[in-house]
Structure 1
């Protein structure tokens, strides 16, 4: 548990709080990410988390358990690779309060200690200054630039590639 937040996996009943966060924060997140805007999409996300397709973690406020944000560890590979992609987003209501720094820190610790991963990679659009500051603050290293890396909101977008290994992690 962080000083102000904790993380947990989503359960079936969380679809409505996810939907509320997604709808209230849609404009805030455009064009960085496209979040499910209906019940079906939120329930599909939770099903993927429960099936192990993605390690989804909800960042919750320590006082009232309100949903602060979401962290996803996806494309998890084991064996010689032991790596995953890190993605995250915050509720507009909690942006700029440092709660995501705490929550993503907990998720990174979970990835390295519980999941026993060796490397995390975060791909971030160059104009997403807040997200770039977050990974830099957490100790990620910029490794490169990927042109037209990911399709977001119907357009292929460039991304900066940032990564961290367990050896460089200090929670």
Structure 2
């Protein structure tokens, strides 16, 4: 799937596009620059994650997995984050998990919200999914606002849902249903 989706956010052009191996330098720089900022929200990372080889491996794994659609988030042509659909299921589920992050340098500007809106268009349009779900740490109010701004509804709290920042963390779960879904 090669969809590029874009839209204006105030005067910023926000675009999502499938990651490419040529993105390795941008993602390596972002991983290093945002290491401390992202630490509370991510699993423990090996040192190799912060290297070009580590980022290349991550990109290649995503490109090879038919159940993952990973995109770069760009603001005015600069890579500022990543957004993904993962665990993409067809058949009776027609669903995927949504994950995203943006650089601390652009955090709070609405870019994650716009990228999420664009990814939902891809999920419900190109992929024909019926449901997209996401989870956030209980204290990640900013991410919860991103989801609420995009029509996600809170469906509950999952105890010890993910091992993040060295410990099992409870997460608030959200879903967005495509009420206009029809079989292909």
Does TM-score exceed 0.5, indicating one fold? yes
> Which ranges of structure 1 fall in alignment gaps of 5 or more residues?
none
In the alignment of these two chains, the number of paired residues is 167
**Are 1:78 and 2:90 matched, yes or no?**
yes
The residue number in structure 1 matching 2:71 is 57
CA RMSD, aligned part only? 1.6
Instruction: Find the aligned partners of 2:85 and 2:52 in 1 and give their Cα distance.
Output: 22
Instruction: Find the aligned partners of 1:146 and 1:126 in 2 and give their Cα distance.
Output: 10
Structure 2 residue matching 1:100: 3-state secondary structure: helix
Match runs of 1:100-139 below 5 Å: 100-139=112-151
TM score, norm. by length of structure 1: 0.92
Contact preservation (8 Å) 2:67, 2:89: no
1:3-47 CA-to-partner distances (Å, cap 9, x unmatched) read 121111111111110111111112112211246322222112211
Bigger fraction of residues in helix: 1
Instruction: Find the aligned partners of 1:160 and 1:29 in 2 and give their Cα distance.
Output: 18
Match runs of 1:15-30 below 5 Å: 15-30=24-39
- CA change 1:32–1:168 in 2 (3 A) is farther
Contact preservation (8 Å) 1:48, 1:54: no
